Structure 1
Amino acid sequence: MGWTVTDDVDEFWAAAAGFLAAHRVACTVELTIVDTLRRRGREAFGGPSALAWWDDGVGASAVVVHTPRHRPVVSALPPGAAVAWAAQRPCPHRVLAPPGSVAELAAAWDATWEAVVTERLHRLARLRLPAAPTPTRPAGDADRDLLWSWLQEFHHQATPHDPPPQRAALDAAIDESRVVVAVPGDEPVGYASASPVVLGTARIGPVYTRPGHRGRGHGAAVTAAAAQQARARGADEVLLFTDLANATSNALYARLGFVGLTDLVDADLVPTARKNV
């Protein structure tokens, strides 16, 4: 019983695929990261990744996925896993995990932690289309530069604590018809993107409407269209995250038929020894 760490995504998948399939909703972030590595290679995030699974004697029962520039993403942890992980890995500055896992890891590293963002994972139950939806269309080649500028705006406004976005990921989403734009007139005013379908799941995000065009239903329209497209591509589970501090977006997605399931905490960790320096 213990942790195995590798930078070989095929080795990781062979060991952890059963666990990820059984927890495909709760582990949506881990799944999409691993899918990106399997499709685009080990350099997809700029270098080798640390991919780990906890074997409880009968197979994987927890995972950690850590790609370059990003914080580790940790699943729910069984007893003993946090202490064993902390014994072999240094305390990172950040971690993304369920609240219980964050607390267990912080205790194992003798650290305090503070939530930077608390996100709620939602599952689409029954899609309720907006009463008067904004016209939408798939994004095309002519939209690439515009959407890249919007993605950078979204990053600065909503996720400045994260590493900068990658243009290659946006281009791949456009190439694979996973991006929808809102076009109430001649020009797009907002968009929504969705992840590839992995084990029957797809996750919507980001959803972005330009300032000056908000509050008019454009975000609801592109979210609904992206959800319909994801289901057409084979997703029986359509997911998205919301910032719990954003009451407007939480209410919007509830109206569309998304139901909150569980929370993840993007947390800062400060070891006691570092605080006392």
Structure 2
Amino acid sequence: MGWRVTDDVEEFWAAAAGFLAAHRVACTIELTIADTLRRRGPEAYGGPSTLAWWDDGVGASAVLVHTPRHRPVVSAMPPGAAVAWAAQWPCPHRVLGPATTVAELAAAWDATWTPVLTERLHRLAGLRLPADPTPTRLAGDADRDLLWVWLGEFHHQATPQDPPPQRAALDVAIDESRVVVAVPDGGPVAYASTSPVVLGTARIGPVYTRPEHRGRGHGAAVTAAAAQRAQARGADEVLLFTDLDNPTSNALYARLGFVGLVDLVDADLVPTAPTARKNV
């Protein structure tokens, strides 16, 4: 029993696929990261990644993934796993996971933790289309530069604490027909992107409407269209995250049929005593 660590995604997948399949909704981020590494190679995030699973003697019962530039992402952990991880690895600057797991890790590192962002994971229970939806279409080559600018705006407004987005990820999403734009008068005013379908799941995000076009249903239109496309590609679970401090987006997604499931905390960690720590 203990943590197994690798930078080989195929080794990780062979060991953790059963756990990820059984927890495919709660572990949507970890699942997407593993899939991206499998499809695009070990340099997809700019360098080797740390991929770990808790081996309880029967199989994996928890996972942790850490890609370059980003904070570690952790699943729920069984008793003893957080303490064992903290004994192996220095305290990072940030971590993302269920609040109970973040608290357990912080205690094991003798660190205080402060939420930077609390997000709620939603699943689509049954799509309710907008009454008068804005026309939408798939994004194409002519939209790439504009959407890259919009992605930067979204990052600045919604996730400034995160590393800047990568253009390659946007281009791949457009190439794979996973980006939808709202075109009320022929030109784009909003967009939504979805992840690839993995183990029957797909996650919508980001969803962005230019400030001057908000309040007119464009965000609802692209979200609904993205959900329909994900279902058409084989997703029986369509997911998305919302910032709990944004009541407008939470109400919007509820109207479309999304139901909240679990909250994840993106937290800063500060050791109470000087310790070695990773620059993450």
Answer whether TM exceeds 0.5 for this pair.
yes
- 2:273 corresponds in structure 1 to 273
Aligned partners of 2:5 and 2:19: how far apart in 1? 16
- 1:213 corresponds in structure 2 to 213
- 2:17 corresponds in structure 1 to 17
Matches within 5 A, 1:38-187: 38-187=38-187
DSSP-derived class of the 2:266 partner: strand
Structure 1 residue 186: deviation in Å? 2.2
One-letter identity of the residue aligned with 1:171: D
Aligned partners of 1:79 and 1:223: how far apart in 2? 38
- 2:263 corresponds in structure 1 to 263
Aligned partners of 1:243 and 1:174: how far apart in 2? 25
Cα root mean square deviation, aligned: 0.7
Q: CA offsets per residue over residues 164-185 of structure 1, 9 Å max, x none?
A: 1010100000000000000010
Aligned partners of 2:34 and 2:149: how far apart in 1? 26
- 2:234 corresponds in structure 1 to 234
One-letter identity of the residue aligned with 1:247: P
Give aligned-pair identity as a percent.
87
Aligned partners of 1:76 and 1:165: how far apart in 2? 27
Aligned partners of 1:164 and 1:5: how far apart in 2? 27
Q: TM-score, normalised by structure 2?
A: 0.98
Aligned partners of 1:185 and 1:132: how far apart in 2? 15
Aligned partners of 1:274 and 1:207: how far apart in 2? 40
Aligned partners of 1:48 and 1:94: how far apart in 2? 19
Aligned partners of 1:44 and 1:233: how far apart in 2? 23
Q: CA offsets per residue over residues 78-105 of structure 1, 9 Å max, x none?
A: 0000000000000000000000000000
Runs of 4+ in 1 over 4 A off after TM superposition: none
Q: CA offsets per residue over residues 30-52 of structure 1, 9 Å max, x none?
A: 00001000000000001000000
Aligned partners of 1:274 and 1:138: how far apart in 2? 51
Aligned partners of 2:90 and 2:134: how far apart in 1? 49
- 1:6 corresponds in structure 2 to 6
One-letter identity of the residue aligned with 2:132: A
DSSP-derived class of the 1:212 partner: helix
Aligned partners of 1:126 and 1:151: how far apart in 2? 28
DSSP-derived class of the 2:193 partner: strand
Aligned partners of 2:32 and 2:89: how far apart in 1? 24
Aligned partners of 2:183 and 2:3: how far apart in 1? 49
Structure 1 residue 187: deviation in Å? 1.0
Aligned partners of 2:157 and 2:111: how far apart in 1? 29
Q: Structure 2: which 5+ residue stretches go unaligned?
A: 276-280
One-letter identity of the residue aligned with 1:217: G
Q: Structure 1: which 5+ residue stretches go unaligned?
A: none
